[in-house]
Structure 1
Amino acid sequence: MLALTLFAALPFLAQNVRAQDVKSGPWVMQNGGTTASLRGIHAVGGGVAWASGTGGTVLRTEDSGYMWQSCAMPPGAEKLDFRGIWAWDANNAVVMASGPGDQSRVYKTTDGCSHWTLELTNPDKDGFWDALVFQDRKTGFLLGDPVSGRFVVMKTVDGGQSWSRSKAQGLEATPEAKGAFAASNTSLVILPNHRLLFGTGGGVLYHGVHFESTVLDAPANTSPATSGAFEHLSVPLAGKGDAAGIFSLAFADALHGVAVGGDYQKPNESVGTAAWTSDGGKTWTAAVKPPHGYRSSVAWDADAKAWIAAGTNGSDISYDGGKTWAKLDDGNWNALSLPWIVGPKGRMAKLGVLPPKP
């Protein structure tokens, strides 16, 4: 159990900026008043959303993005890259920094980001954290690159105050799966049936412990039948080289999901950028007509009954479960939490009117 507490002394900065009425495809651009590269975005609902990025940047809106507020910077975060953020309302949120060793950290606010508490610092000098997700206000998980040959999966049951590392079987790194990607905070996902999945380089999917059981704390030598060990499954995405693999996972329900990725060093290569599943991630099929480039994030739009994926050369939509995709725009994006999308140099936008279903 690792926990560090430190209270921020920085004042809350209320930088309110009106949205700009500029569009990129169906995306209506917004102005967050920052030039930081944004990779963390979490839409809470009711017009509340949080975003995060480089240079210790955290932003918040309470009015659907009409105005974005620049939060007080967490203590010692001036050089940190906040690649993951998770919020529950306008006051309560956690943010995760990704970086080597102790540059990977988790902070928490309970007062609308006026003050932050340092909850966890990576104890592994060779570690690197990739994603952070919560099932509810108490139960959450953190994914990190392999340390001593095993992927790091950590769990909290008290909202982030304390964390324990999983000893479950199946977390061993493979020659193909050398690490995960911290591109959009979506390489780790919790299914509605409480199973935990994460994607890695090489197109390898680690599928999934039922987190409500004791398996995350089971000894590594516990039998798979009783431990619910992680299985290693293959997803038909581009997987050759350290820059390729599964970058993002999302599920519409316990069975139907989409994985996106590709090779971020080949952003315009469309082959191997999306796959779909209808059995909870046990088997995957490559998209017949994939997105028009590498994709770092994917999300399900329940209202439109469509999948939306985004990456550095634009965004795409699928109305048929991820089998075929159509281009939405050519913008430069990193992460999705619908209806918002964020990218480099402070780019952020909100989804407007989608094209009609074919």
Structure 2
Amino acid sequence: MILTKRLRNKALLLLSAALLALTGWSAEAPRAASAQAPVCGTGDHGLLQELQKKHLNANESPLVFSDIQFLGANTGRAVGNGFMIGTSNGGCTFQTIYEGQWSFRKIDFPDNVYGWALASVQDGQSGYLIRTMDGGSHWKRLSNDPVSFTKIDFIDRQHGFAYDWAFAYYTSDGGESWSKIRTPANTRGAVFTSRSSGWAVTVAPGAGYRVMKTADGGKRWSLKLKSAFSYPVLGDIYAKGSQVWTVLYGDTGMSQTSYSLYASADGGGSWRRVIAQSTAGGGPAPGSGGNPLAKGPVAGKPGNMQLAGGGAFLLGYSPAGEEVGVGRSYTGGKQWSNLPGIPGFDGVISFTGDKEGWLAVRGPGQSSLYATQDGGYTWKLKLSFNTK
């Protein structure tokens, strides 16, 4: 009887050890499902404090988060100047994936193994396209020359898109080579959801702005939205399924940016002006029409937007007000809610469902990661480190 109990206890200990090992980082871990993230505390455990200490001792710039991406409720990465960390258990614990010369600006992982990034060498100004084939531990620069890309979006390990403010590009060999996609004249922002289907924001001085759509890879473009009034300086387009959203940026001044947010729930057939935020420093919001809200999330500048699980989420940040928060809609823009903010200067969001999301924030003396399980209404601190 005693021997049997000992064998049983030993088997349970081995099983527990195996389960604990599964919570560690693995580049080969499968893409996370949409299950709820595990209930746990913060995942710091001194990890970032040690990274920060090493950087400061080497007289390097303090570590600050620049981008995040989660593939599901459990698996994600956060990056900054010379580092990448990751979690495979919903942020209960984080592990260091990369330390080195690359200062990450943007990352994009279509799966948990292959990834691409826009990055500079340390604090340099030039940006390069780099690729990893082992989850982020090692990176290869794909060309000797800097790139003009401001955004990247890979569909799989071979096919992807890249954008600057005027043009769109396509690759079918994992970023080794790129072809320019034909976009309308005076494009100020574009996005493609497939090689054939894409959207673009264009401006015509004195004639307002246009939102255009192509269904044949850029050969022909059709008009979907226009205004003869004030036109944007830049534009961002976000599209998923029948949802299409565009952020039109006005001028910036006194740490304020004027902007308008438009939504279409039927693939561009009809549009709704959701937000039109004019500011003293940035002047009137671009565009016209409808009965929009006068302020966006935290009455601040627009950050990145995410379409996930039927929801639309827009980050807002106010450097002067030291506040970061999101606005959201679950109705294609018919109703919009600006949610409570948290302390911070700026940030970036990554939502994986209509309730689950992550937020990286740069705040007064700190850079932090937060998670939400209620669509951005409340945020739980996962880890934070000092930036002084």
TM-score, structure 2 as length reference: 0.56
Q: Are 1:204 and 1:232, in contact at CA under 8 Å, matched by a contact in 2?
A: yes
Aligned to 1:274: 326
Matches within 5 A, 1:6-25: none
Given the superposition, is the C-alpha separation of residues 252 and 107 from structure 1 closer, same or farther in structure 2, using an over 3 Å criterion?
A: closer
8 Å contact from structure 1 (residues 86, 93) kept in 2: yes
C-alpha distance after superposition, 1:102-154 (max 9, x if no partner): xx333322222222223347743xx643xx43333432223456754533534
**When the two structures are aligned, how many residues end up with a matched partner?**
268
- Aligned residue in 2 for 1:320: 374
Counterpart of 1:259 in structure 2 is 314
The structure with the larger Rg is 2
| Alignment partners' CA distance in 2, 1:92 and 1:23 | 24
More contact order relative to length (CA 8 Å, sep ≥ 6) = 1
In structure 1, distance between residues paired with 2:97 and 2:103? 14
Instruction: Go from structure 1 to structure 2 and tell me whether the alpha carbon gap of 1:84 and 1:275 turns closer, same or farther (over 3 Å shift).
Output: same
| Aligned position for 2:181 | 119
Distance 1:120 1:66 in 2: 35
Equivalent-residue separation in structure 2 for 1:209 and 1:300 (angstroms): 19
Match in the other structure for 2:357? 307
Residues 56-79 of structure 1: CA deviation (Å, up to 9, x unaligned): 511222222122221125xxx64x
Does 1:72 find its partner at 2:122? no
Q: CA deviation at 1:197?
A: 0.7
Match of 2:153 in 1: 86
Secondary structure of the residue aligned to 1:94 is strand
Amino acid at match of 1:208: S
Q: Distance in 1 between matches of 2:282 and 2:104?
A: 22
Long gaps (5+) in structure 2: 1-81, 120-124, 250-257, 284-299
Q: Which segment is superposed worse, 199-208 or 140-149?
A: 140-149
> 1:45 Cα deviation (Å)?
1.6
Note the alpha carbon deviations across 1:187-238, whole angstroms, 9 max, x for none: 432243x121122343521112633xxx6xxxxxxxxxxxx34321127x89
Contact residue 183 and residue 200 of structure 2 kept, 8 A? no
Distance in 2 of aligned mates of 1:36 and 1:251: 27
State the distance in 1 between where 2:160 and 2:108 align: 10
97, 110, 113: which one aligns with 1:44 = 110
The one of 258, 269, 273 equivalent to 1:232 is: 273
- Cα distance change, pair 171–140 in 1 and its aligned pair in 2 (3 A): same
Structure 1, unmatched stretches of 5+, are 1-18, 99-103, 182-186, 216-227, 333-358
1:252–1:117 Cα change, 3 Å: closer
Distance in 1, matches of 2:215 and 2:162, equals 17
Quote the Cα distance in structure 2 between the aligned partners of 1:145 and 1:155. 14
**Is the Cα–Cα contact under 8 Å of residues 185 and 202 in structure 2 kept in the other structure?**
no
Q: Which residue of 1 aligns with 2:262?
A: 206
Report the RMSD for the aligned CA atoms in angstroms. 3.8
Give the alignment's TM-score, normalised by structure 1: 0.60
Once the two structures are overlaid, the 10-residue window that deviates more, 291-300 or 30-39, is 30-39
Q: Secondary structure at the match of 2:302?
A: strand
- 1:22–1:252 Cα change, 3 Å: closer
Match of 2:191 in 1: 133
Question: Which amino acid in structure 1 is aligned with residue 282 of structure 2?
Answer: D
